C-alpha cells in the first residue's frame, strides 16, 4: 500500500512547515515522503557514542532506499564510567530527560517513524521509553561492542585493578598498563554491564534487528545493520506498526 505521511506538511495549513523544511534544502519530492527521524546520541564525551555519527549515514541511506526522507537530530549522552563521584548524580535523571526529549521531538515534528542510535547504560532505556510513548514505528541501533585488546583485559577489570593497587598488590606502572589495555576502539564497554544488558533486551523485544546486541562496533556488519534499520523503519510505516500492539 502507498506510504501516507502524517499531516503537518500537507495542504495550505502545511505551507509554513514546508517553507521551513525547504530552508534546509528539502524539496517537494522529499516532503511528499514519510519523514523518519534519525535520533542520534553521538557524543565526543562518551566512547559508546563516539562512532555513531558515521553509523547515522548508513541509516539515512537505508531510509532513502526504502522511500523515506531521513532527518537527523541529536541527544545528550553521558558515560557512567566517566561520570564517577558527584557526576553520578546526573546520570539517572538523564534517562528521564532523554525519554521526554525523544517523545517531544517526534511529537512536535509529527515524524512518521524514527531510528534511534544509542549505546550506554541509561541512554538505551531512556530513548526506548520516549519512542514507545510516541506511538510511531521505531528501530533501535545499539552501537556495538568495544573490541578487547590482546590479553583479554576488559572494562570490568579496571575496578579490580584499582582495588589491587589500593591494597598494594599492583604498582603504578601495572595499573597504568591495565588502563591502557581495556579497549581497542570506541563502542559499548566490553563487560556485562547495564549497556550490554539493555542492548540484549532491545534485541529480544524486537526493537533492534537480530544480532545487533552482539556485533562489534568496528564490524562492517554493524554498518550493514544500520542501513537495514533505516529500511525497516519505512517498512513499518507501510505495515501500520504500532508499539502499543
| pLDDT above 90 as % of the chain | 78
Residue 2's pLDDT band, with cuts at 50, 70 and 90, is very low
Is residue 43 a contact partner of residue 208, using CB atoms and an 8 Å limit?
no
Is residue 82 a contact partner of residue 45, using CB atoms and an 8 Å limit?
yes
Residue 205, SS3 per DSSP: coil
Residues 6 or more apart in contact with residue 173 via CB below 8 angstroms: none
pLDDT tens profile 125-150: 999 999 999 999 999 999 999 988 86
Domain edges within the chain: 34-147+191-239, 148-182
Residues 230 and 245: their CA atoms lie apart, in Å, by: 21
- pTM value is 0.92
Is residue 37 a contact partner of residue 206, using CB atoms and an 8 Å limit?
no
pLDDT tens profile 105-132: 999 999 999 999 999 999 999 999 999 9
Q: How far is CA 115 from CA 90, 171, 181, 236, in A?
A: 25, 46, 33, 11
Residue 90, SS3 per DSSP: helix
pLDDT tens profile 42-51: 999 999 999 9
pLDDT tens profile 61-76: 999 999 999 999 999 9
Mention the CATH class of domain 34-147+191-239. Answer: alpha beta
pLDDT tens profile 158-216: 989 999 999 999 999 999 999 988 877 899 998 888 999 999 999 999 999 999 999 99
Amino acid at each position: 500500500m502507498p506510504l501516507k505521511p502524517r499531516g503537518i506538511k500537507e495542504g495550505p495549513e502545511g505551507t509554513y512547515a514546508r517553507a521551513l523544511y525547504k530552508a534546509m534544502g528539502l524539496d517537494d519530492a522529499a516532503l511528499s515522503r514519510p519523514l523518519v527521524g534519525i535520533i542520534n546520541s553521538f557524543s565526543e564525551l562518551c566512547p559508546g557514542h563516539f562512532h555513531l555519527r558515521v553509523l547515522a549515514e548508513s541509516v539515512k541511506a537505508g531510509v532513502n532506499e526504502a522511500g523515506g526522507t531521513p532527518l537527523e537530530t541529536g541527544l545528550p549522552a553521558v558515560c557512567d564510567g566517566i561520570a564517577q563521584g558527584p557526576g553520578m548524580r546526573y546520570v539517572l535523571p538523564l534517562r528521564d530527560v532523554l525519554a521526554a526529549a525523544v517523545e517531544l521531538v517526534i511529537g512536535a515534528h509529527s515524524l512518521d517513524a524514527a531510528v534511534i542510535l544509542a549505546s550506554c547504560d541509561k541512554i538505551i532505556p531512556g530513548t526506548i521509553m520516549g519512542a514507545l510513548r510516541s506511538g510511531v514505528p521505531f528501530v533501535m541501533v545499539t552501537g556495538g561492542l568495544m573490541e578487547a585488546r590482546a590479553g583479554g583485559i576488559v572494562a570490568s577489570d579496571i575496578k579490580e585493578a584499582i582495588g589491587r593497587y589500593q591494597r598494594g598488590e599492583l604498582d603504578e606502572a601495572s595499573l597504568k598498563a591495565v588502563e591502557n589495555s581495556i579497549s581497542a576502539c570506541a563502542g559499548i564497554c566490553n563487560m556485562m554491564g547495564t549497556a550490554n544488558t539493555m542492548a540484549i533486551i532491545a534485541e529480544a523485544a524486537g526493537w533492534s534487528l537480530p544480532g545487533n546486541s552482539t556485533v562489534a562496533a568496528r564490524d562492517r556488519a554493524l554498518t550493514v545493520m544500520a542501513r537495514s534499520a533505516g529500511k525497516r523503519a519505512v517498512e513499518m510505516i507501510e505495515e501500520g506498526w504500532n508499539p502499543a500492539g
